[in-house]
Amino acid sequence: MNGKVLVLLISISAMVAFLSACQPAPSDPLIDPEDVILVEVDGRAVSLPMLEYMMVQRGIDEDDHEGMRELLDELIRLRAVANAAERDGLAEQAEVRAQRALRDMETLQLRYFSRIHEEYPVTDEDIQAVYEAQLQRSGDRQFRLETIAYPSQRQALLAIASLEDGETDFAALSEQARRDGLTVEPTGWVDRSQVGDELGPLFAEAEAGDVLSAPLQTPQGWRLVRIADERPLQAPALDDVREGIARQLVRQRLEALVEDLYDAAEITPMLPLEEASAD
């Protein structure tokens, strides 16, 4: 922020003392000694970085003098209320201290993530590689499926065996499953990448009318899968999925970063696990 901001703040109010060389109070660990202090409220600092941050959050430009005056006034009021809360001992309450500590960690985490993303951005080459890998996993066809959800893998495998032995057909199995209260339902169009690595290869040679030789495990049960129909896959253009791939890569990188930091951290339990769990 340039000098005209400071010149402006001098005239905000006759009651606002502009103390650019003032040292922050020792009880303000988040105020750096090099920070410009705009005002002290009952001895507690309101700094220029505070105002600048608020301006960014509210979308207020440094040419908006009135907006800056209002923000500084808001910060002074906020500081006055915080001071009163501290005098009443609220800052010493365990819940308040925990909330402030968590908010501090969350702020640092977001800033750290932002810096990592700036230093190691997702490139067009990264996006292209993911796109091509997805096309490879998807194959060149889509399938519409009919499924029967069995409670156990054993039941699903027995149903597949009865089909392979010619003892029954899929229609009869579906009818029996409905009488037994099992879920029998079709799916929308799916490709190989959407059915998992184990079943994906089974679709390579499958045709409409075929029943897969292995069941699909889902949260609803072990599904017997019949291919009801197929059609050529119309893959989306790269430009249509570019942003989604970029978001996916950022999320994956940050998740991996968190796991790496967790694994590298020196973690020292300070209480016996049983006692910590009880508390």
Residue that is last in its domain, among 232, 256, 274 = 232
Pair of tokens at residue 11? 């005239």
- Does 98 fall in a domain? yes
Q: Examine residue 272 and state whether it is found in any structural domain, yes or no.
A: no
Residue 279 lies in a domain: no
Q: Which helix (DSSP H) or strand (DSSP E) does residue 40 occupy?
A: strand 37-41
In a domain, 273, yes or no: no
Residue 257 lies in a domain: yes
Tens of pLDDT, residues 168-182 = 999 999 999 999 999
* Residue 167 pLDDT greater than 50, yes or no: yes
pLDDT at 13: 39
Per-residue pLDDT band for 273 (boundaries 50, 70, 90) equals low
To the nearest whole percent, how much of the chain has pLDDT over 90?
Answer: 65
Task: Label residue 2 by pLDDT band (50, 70, 90).
Answer: very low
Task: Please report where in the chains the tokens 């229609």 appear, as a residue.
Answer: 171
Final residue in a domain of this structure, among 64, 92, 120: 92
Q: Flag whether 56 is in a domain.
A: yes
SS3 of 183, please? Answer: strand
The reply to whether 112 and 242 lie within a common domain is yes
Residues 76 and 214 in one domain: no
Q: Are residues 19 and 52 in the same domain?
A: yes
- Count of C-beta atoms within a 10 Å radius of residue 72: 23
**Does one domain contain both 242 and 131?**
yes
Cα–Cα distance for residue pair 99/199, rounded to 1 Å: 47
274 assigned to some structural domain: no
In terms of domains, do 228 and 100 share one? no
Q: How many domains does the chain have?
A: 3
If asked whether residues 162 and 24 sit together in one domain, one would say no
What is the domain-level CATH number for residue 228?
3.10.50.40
Q: What is the 3-state secondary structure (H, E, C) of 202-230?
A: HHCCCCCCCECCCCEEECCEEEEEEEEEE
d(CA 271, CA 179): 56
- Is residue 71 domain-shared with residue 193, that is, in the same domain? no
DSSP 8-state symbol, 221: E
Residues 253 and 130 in one domain: yes
Q: Which domain holds residue 249?
A: 94-135+235-265
Instruction: Say yes or no: 171 and 214 in one domain.
Output: yes
pLDDT at 17 over 50: no
Whether 221 and 180 share a structural domain: yes
Q: Please state the pTM of the whole predicted model.
A: 0.68
Is residue 277 included in any domain, yes or no? no
Residues 156 and 214 in one domain: yes
- 117 plus 179 within the same structural domain: no
